[in-house]
Amino acid sequence: MLTTNTEFLHAELMDVVRLFGPDAPDLSHSFLYAENNFINTVIAEGREFAYRDEYPCADELEFKRYAKRFAKLAVYNALKTLTGKTMPWGALTGIRPTKLAYGEREQGRPFEPMFEKFGVAPENIALVGDVLAAQEGIYGREEGAADLYIGIPFCPSKCNYCSFITADIGKTEKHLENYLAALEKEIAGCAGLYKNLKSIYIGGGTPLVLHTEQLRRVLEAAEPFARRGIEYTVEAGRPDVFTEEKLALLQEYGVTRVCVNPQSFCNETLERIGRKHTAEDIYRAYEMARRFPFEINFDLIAGLTGESAAQFEESVDRAVALTPENITVHTLCLKKGARLKEEESFLEGGDMAEMIAYARSRLYAAGYVPYYLYRQKYMAGNFENTGWTKPGKACVYNIDVMEEITDNIACGANAVTKKLFAGEGRIERLGAPKDIPAYIAKIDKIISDKRALFGRA
Ligand code: SF4
Instruction: Give residue 346's pLDDT.
Output: 44
**Atom in ligand 1 nearest the alpha carbon of residue 274:** 6
Distance between CA 131 and CA 188 in Å, rounded?
35
- The answer to whether 387 touches 398, Cβ cutoff 8 Å, is yes
Three-state secondary structure string covering 331-392: ECECCCCCHHHHHCCCCCCCCHHHHHHHHHHHHHHCCCEEEEEECCCCEHHHCCEEEEECCC
Q: What is the identity of the amino acid at 256?
A: T
424: which DSSP letter?
G
pLDDT confidence of 383, banded at 50, 70, 90?
confident
pLDDT surpasses 50 at 456: yes
307 contacts: CB under 8 Å, gap ≥ 6: 264, 266, 269, 347
- How do 385-389 and 326-331 pair as beta strands? antiparallel
CA distances, 206 to each of 80, 157, 164, 202, 450 (Å)? 42, 10, 12, 9, 25
Helix (H, G, I), strand (E, B) or coil at 263: strand
Ligand 1 atom closest to the CA of 237, numbered from 1: 1
Residue range 16-45, pLDDT digits in tens: 998 888 889 999 999 999 999 999 999 999
Element (H, E) at 117: helix 112-117
Please determine, looking at this structure, whether the domain spanning 1-85 carries the CATH number 3.30.160: yes
DSSP state of 276: S
411-450 pLDDT, tens digit per residue, is 999 999 999 998 887 899 999 999 999 999 999 999 999 9
Taking only the tens place, the pLDDT of each residue in 332-361 is 876 655 655 544 444 455 588 899 999 999
**In the prediction, which pLDDT does 227 show?**
85
Tell me which residue has its CA closest to atom 8 in ligand 1: 162
pLDDT in tens, 201-220: 999 889 999 999 999 999 99
- Residue whose CA is closest, atom 5 of ligand 1? 158
Q: What is the pLDDT of residues 222-238, one digit of tens each?
A: 999 998 889 999 999 88
Cβ–Cβ < 8 Å for 314, 264: no
Q: State the distance from the centre of ligand 1 to the C-alpha of 453, rounded, in angstroms.
A: 30
Q: What is the mean pLDDT of residues 173-182?
A: 95
Q: How far apart (Å, rounded) are the C-alpha atoms in residues 48 and 153?
A: 50
CATH superfamily of 145-411: Aldolase class I (3.20.20.70)
Share of the chain above pLDDT 90, in %: 78
pLDDT at residue 340, as a whole number: 57
Burial of 54 (0-12, 13-18, 19+ CB in 10 A): exposed
345 versus 128: the higher-pLDDT residue is: 128
- Classify residue 308 by burial, with Cβ atoms within 10 Å: 0-12, 13-18, 19+: middle
User: Where are the CATH 3.30.160 domain residues in the chain?
Assistant: 1-85
Mean pLDDT of 80-92: 93
Least confident among 292-296, 377-381, 382-386: 377-381
The pLDDT value given to residue 210: 95
CA of residue 270 to ligand 1 center, whole Å: 12
Provide the pLDDT for residue 347.
Answer: 44
Residue whose C-alpha is closest to residue 228's, from 255, 201, 202, 267:
255
Task: Identify the pLDDT of residue 98.
Answer: 96
pTM of the model: 0.92
Distance 212 CA to ligand 1 centre (A): 20
Ligand 1 centroid–CA 159 distance in Å is 6
Which of 109-120 are b and which e, b meaning 16 or more Cβ less than 10 Å from the residue's Cβ?
eebbebbeebbb
Counting beta carbons within 10 angstroms of the beta carbon of residue 224, is it exposed (0 to 12), middle (13 to 18) or buried (19 or more)?
exposed
Separation of 272 CA from ligand 1 center, angstroms? 14
Name the average pLDDT for the chain. Answer: 92
Instruction: Find the residues whose C-beta lies inside 6 A of ligand 1.
Output: 155, 158-159, 162, 164, 166, 204-206, 237-238
User: What length is written for the chain?
Assistant: 457
Residues of the chain with CATH 3.20.20.70: 145-411
- DSSP E strand boundaries for 238-294: 257-263
Q: How far does the centroid of ligand 1 lie from the alpha carbon of residue 333, in Å?
A: 13
Q: Which of 152, 155, 339 is the pocket-test mutation for ligand 1 (most atoms within 8 Å of CB)?
A: 155
Chain-centroid distance, C-alpha 290: 26
Which residue in 393, 391, 370 sits closest to 130, CA to CA?
A: 370
Ligand 1 centroid from CA 225, angstroms:
27
pLDDT tens per residue across span 134-177: 999 999 888 899 999 999 999 988 888 887 777 777 788 899 99
* Model pLDDT, residue 161: 82
Closest CA to 386 of 267, 279, 298: 298
Per-residue confidence band for 376, with pLDDT thresholds at 50, 70 and 90: confident
Residue nearest to atom 7 of ligand 1 (CA): 162
Ligand 1 centroid – CA 33 distance (Å): 47
Ligand 1 centroid distance, CA of 450 (Å): 27
Does an H or E element contain 99, and which? helix 97-106
Ligand 1, atom 6: closest residue by C-alpha: 159
Name the residue of 172, 206, 272, 299 whose CB sits within 8 Å of the most ligand 1 atoms, as the mutation to test its pocket.
Answer: 206
Q: How many helices (H) and strands (E) does the chain have?
A: 16, 17
